[in-house]
């Protein structure tokens, strides 16, 4: 008769393997170090092989330990997905949709994306902002249904991301009405007017710097910011020319507070929806992808 695997023992092993330190894991789990060690020892006895090697205060996985860890990761990821699927499809609440958004994302884009689901009162919407790495960690643990980003991610064996392109938005030079006069000369604007631009880590800035290099232009940069909300404020209040997608300042453009001087061809912002492969797709998210359309 095949003995039944003790998932409590496997869970403790998984947590220790992820932490690499017995004492810290015991503190996080609120159990004694001796009790945690005993749980792992029982798993090793059941499997008939050591799973860890000690190197000073650190625990290193044996070859078999690495193999067991891969099984543990798959097992507990599946469990998290099960909880996520039942939460998202809770008939009593009409389900919920959990969306993570990188903090640099345009709020106007976010509003356009969420519009189809905002009208559905039966759907509970959970929205949180944060850094991309933090949000991806939560996505991989099935604590989020989707992450919205203006940076793509690349999938690998450990992280089977699905990166869907939602929209592309042209990037423009925008500033106070009448600042540059008649006619739009890109080189003249970039070298004769102070600019506020996204930071060097943004996709927009990378493309902009490459374009300037190709054109042999050294732009007059007054300020660099890594947050679209801050860039919007500077575009509105600084009196400088902003390198910014028009959607970010659409209200100011419509009210005549700002003027679009021209598009910067070859420079655009791309919006992505990042998900993970699931056995049970989130129906509200699928509907949202089908209904979403980016206004021009």
Structure tokens at 56: 């000073």
Whether 74 shows a pLDDT value over 80: the answer reads no
Whether 92 shows a pLDDT value over 50: the answer reads no
Residue ranges, comma separated, of all CATH 1.10.10.10 domains in the chain are 7-82
Q: Given CATH 1.10.10.10, say whether it is the number of domain 7-82.
A: yes
Share of the chain above pLDDT 90, in %: 30
Dump pLDDT digits (tens) for 26-69: 888 889 989 999 999 999 998 989 998 887 777 888 999 888 88
Cα–Cα distances (Å) from 238 to 195, 196, 211, 230, in that order, read 10, 9, 24, 11
Dump pLDDT digits (tens) for 160-188: 889 999 988 889 999 999 888 788 899 99
Cβ neighbours around 210 below 10 Å, total: 12
Residue ranges, comma separated, of all CATH 3.40.190.290 domains in the chain are 168-269
For residue 79, which of 137, 11, 128, 127 has the smallest C-alpha distance?
11
* pLDDT of 85: 62
Fold of 168-269: D-Maltodextrin-Binding Protein; domain 2 (3.40.190)
Range scoring the smallest mean pLDDT among 35-49, 70-84, 104-118, 232-246:
70-84
Residues 6+ apart with CB under 8 A from 151: 102, 132, 202, 203, 272
Dump pLDDT digits (tens) for 216-258: 999 999 999 988 888 999 999 998 999 999 988 989 999 999 9
**Mean pLDDT computed over every residue of the chain:** 85
Whether 1 shows a pLDDT value over 50: the answer reads no
Q: Which CATH superfamily is domain 86-164+272-291 in?
A: Periplasmic binding protein-like II (3.40.190.10)
Whether 91 shows a pLDDT value over 70: the answer reads no
């Amino acid at each position: 008769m095949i003995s039944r695997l003790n998932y409590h023992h496997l869970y403790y092993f998984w947590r220790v393997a992820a932490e690499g330190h017995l004492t810290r894991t015991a503190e996080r789990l609120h159990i004694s170090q001796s009790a945690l060690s005993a749980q792992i020892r029982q798993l090793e006895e059941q499997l008939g092989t050591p799973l860890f090697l000690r190197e000073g205060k650190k625990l290193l996985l044996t070859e078999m330990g690495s193999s067991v860890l891969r099984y543990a990761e798959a097992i507990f990821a599946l469990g998290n997905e099960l909880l996520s699927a039942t939460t998202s499809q809770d008939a009593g609440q009409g389900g919920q949709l959990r969306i993570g958004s990188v903090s640099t994302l345009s709020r106007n884009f976010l509003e356009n994306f969420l519009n189809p689901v905002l009208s559905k009162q039966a759907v509970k919407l959970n929205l949180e902002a944060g850094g991309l790495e933090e949000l991806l960690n939560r996505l991989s643990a099935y604590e989020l249904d989707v992450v919205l980003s203006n940076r793509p991610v690349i999938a690998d064996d450990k992280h089977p991301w699905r990166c869907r392109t939602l929209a592309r938005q042209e990037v423009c030079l925008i500033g106070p009405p009448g600042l540059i006069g008649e006619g739009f000369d890109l080189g003249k604007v970039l070298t004769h007017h102070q600019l506020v631009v996204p930071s060097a880590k943004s996709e927009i800035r990378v493309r902009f710097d490459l374009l300037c290099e190709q054109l042999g232009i050294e732009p007059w940069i007054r300020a660099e910011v890594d947050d679209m909300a801050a860039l919007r404020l500077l575009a509105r209040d600084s009196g400088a020319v902003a390198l910014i997608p028009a959607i970010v300042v659409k209200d100011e453009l419509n009210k005549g507070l700002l003027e679009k001087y021209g598009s910067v061809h070859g420079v655009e912002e791309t919006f992505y929806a990042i998900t993970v492969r699931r056995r049970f797709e989130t129906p509200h998210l699928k509907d949202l992808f089908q209904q979403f359309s980016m206004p021009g």
